[in-house]
Amino acid sequence: MIKLLFIGDLIGRPGRRAVAALLPGLRREHEFDLVIANAENAAGGFGLTSKIADELFSLGIDVLTSGNHIWDQKEIEPYLRQNNRLLRPANYPVGDLGRGSVVVELDHRPGIRVGVVNLAGRAFLGPADCPFRAGRDLVARLSAETPVLVIDFHAEATSEKNALATYLDGQISLLVGTHTHVQTADERILPRGTAYITDVGMVGGRNSVIGMKADRVVEKFLNGKPQRYEVEKSEPWLGAVIVEIDEKNGRARSIQRLQIPA
Ligand SMILES: [Fe+2]
Ligand SMILES: [Fe+2]
């Protein structure tokens, strides 16, 4: 059995601090084999820097995924090229600028490998190649290396996430939706053995608008004038799922949703 923790979009410093505070206790309780987190908002809510990526890896996160905000900090580009454990969506048409998937071997269990794939949706989001075809092709390629495959599908539309999970059910171990920052209560194991949640939520201030100070966002909706968004610092909570997977056939055994105060 493989036990993994997938943490939703970490928002700025409060998100990083919440993970630093909560991860050691969660780890003692659950003895995770692998920890994955989405880091597209880790730098002040917008993108990720190399220093912050190093900080997150030093907390014991094994793989970082991302999404549409990955390009917000230009500085991350060389790091994306060099570090294969930081992913950007595989279906972004950006050539060799970073990678969209990685196969990692578990630290304490040599020979056991987990493939992690990052994909982005196209409904209500920027340009990307078809996540269904890209996902299908990557899954076919990676399944030659390991039956244990995890996808972070960074997408806005519930239907697109539902559809991709259904399309790949039985071929992957877990599909986690990210990007909306609002956790959904539909975690389950699909008929052919893929664990699924439409959105895992975020690590950020709960009394906010998706992690940002609410008044600025309300102002923007009221008058349409651009606002300087700021990360909400108070009362962060951590959205994540704990998933157990049979490493022999890649089928999920359980998925447990977490939304806990820091
Ligand atoms: Fe995000
Ligand atoms: Fe996003």
Per-residue pLDDT of the chain (262 residues; tens, 9 = 90+): 999 999 999 999 999 999 999 999 999 999 999 999 999 999 999 999 999 999 999 999 999 999 999 999 999 999 999 999 999 999 999 999 999 999 999 999 999 999 999 999 999 999 999 999 999 999 999 999 999 999 999 999 999 999 999 999 999 999 999 999 999 999 999 999 999 999 999 999 999 999 999 999 999 999 999 889 999 999 999 999 999 999 999 999 999 999 999 9
- How many whole angstroms from 203 Cα to the centroid of ligand 1? 10
Q: How far apart are CA 8 and CA 71, in angstroms?
A: 18
- How many whole angstroms from 67 Cα to the centroid of ligand 2? 5
Tell me the three-class secondary structure of the chain, residue by residue. CEEEEEECEECHHHHHHHHHHHHHHHHHHHCCCEEEEECCCCCCCCCCCHHHHHHHHHCCCCEEECCHHHHCCCCHHHHHHHCCCEECCCCCCCCCCCECEEEEECCCCCCCEEEEEEEECCCCCCCCCCHHHHHHHHHHHHCCCCCCEEEEEECCCHHHHHHHHHHHECCECEEEEECCCCCCCCCEECCCCCEEECCCCEEEECCCECCECHHHHHHHHHHCCCCCCCECCCCEEEEEEEEEECCCCCCEEEEEEEEEEC
- How many whole angstroms from 53 Cα to the centroid of ligand 2? 17
Residues near ligand 1 ion, CB 5 Å cutoff? 9, 40-41
Q: How far apart are CA 70 and CA 212, in angstroms?
A: 17
Count CB atoms within 10 A of the CB of residue 159. Answer: 11
* Longest Cα separation, the chain: 57
- How many whole angstroms from 182 Cα to the centroid of ligand 2? 12
**What ligand is nearest to the CA atom of residue 43?**
1
Copy the structure tokens of residue 250: 């890649």
- How many whole angstroms from 9 Cα to the centroid of ligand 1? 5
**What ligand is nearest to the CA atom of residue 211?**
1
Q: Residue 245 in contact with residue 4, Cβ under 8 Å? A: yes
Residue whose tokens read 């559809």 = 163
Q: What is the CATH classification number for the domain harbouring 78?
A: 3.60.21.10
**pLDDT value at position 80?**
98
**pLDDT value at position 30?**
98
**pLDDT value at position 154?**
98
Provide the number of structural domains found in the chain: 1
Q: Whole-structure pTM over 0.95, yes or no?
A: yes
**pLDDT value at position 238?**
98
Residue whose tokens read 């943490």 = 7
- How many whole angstroms from 145 Cα to the centroid of ligand 1? 30
Q: Is the dihedral of CA 259, 36, 16, 26 positive or negative?
A: positive
Distance, CA of 36 to chain centre: 7
**What ligand is nearest to the CA atom of residue 45?**
1
Q: Residue 238 in contact with residue 19, Cβ under 8 Å? A: yes
Non-local CB neighbours of 23 within 8 Å, separated by 6+ positions: 35, 59, 60, 61
**pLDDT value at position 235?**
96
Q: How far apart are CA 138 and CA 140, in angstroms?
A: 5
Report which of 51, 25, 28, 58 is spatially closest to residue 37, judged by C-alpha positions.
58
**What ligand is nearest to the CA atom of residue 212?**
1
- How many whole angstroms from 232 Cα to the centroid of ligand 1? 14
**pLDDT value at position 67?**
98
**pLDDT value at position 40?**
98
Provide the residue range defining the domain that includes 107.
2-261
List active site positions: 69
Count CB atoms within 10 A of the CB of residue 57. Answer: 17
CA distances from 56 to 16, 19, 61, 145, 210 (A): 7, 9, 6, 27, 21
